[in-house]
Structure 1
Amino acid sequence: VFMDEPSFLDVAIVLALVGFLATVALARYAERRFELDETEQKHAKQKEQDT
């Protein structure tokens, strides 16, 4: 690669990495949110049974 040429490969690698990390972060957020919703539903059922 010559010094005066733009390096499109570097940009592509960075964009791919950012996209991958964003996907992982979104998946972790969604999974954690789903687990919290299940826990809240279990606690609500226990409160109903206790009453």
Structure 2
Amino acid sequence: ACVEDKSPFLGALPIESKLAIAADSGNDFIQEFEGSEVASILENIISKVEW
């Protein structure tokens, strides 16, 4: 999809049940699990997004 849309690939997230639970409940995963591998990956992806 990225190639077809000429969009940059931002990254890949490992499967993490805590991320799904936080998203479903509306909680901030990065804040709740600061310093975790998945939180670091999310921060890296977010840093690539142009707002």
Work out whether the TM-score is over 0.5: no
Q: Which structure has the greater CA radius of gyration?
A: 1
Q: What TM-score comes out, normalization by structure 2 length? A: 0.28
Q: Which has the higher contact order (CA 8 A, sep 6+)?
A: 2
Quick check: which one's helix share is greater?
Answer: 1
What TM-score results when the alignment is normalised by the length of structure 1? 0.28
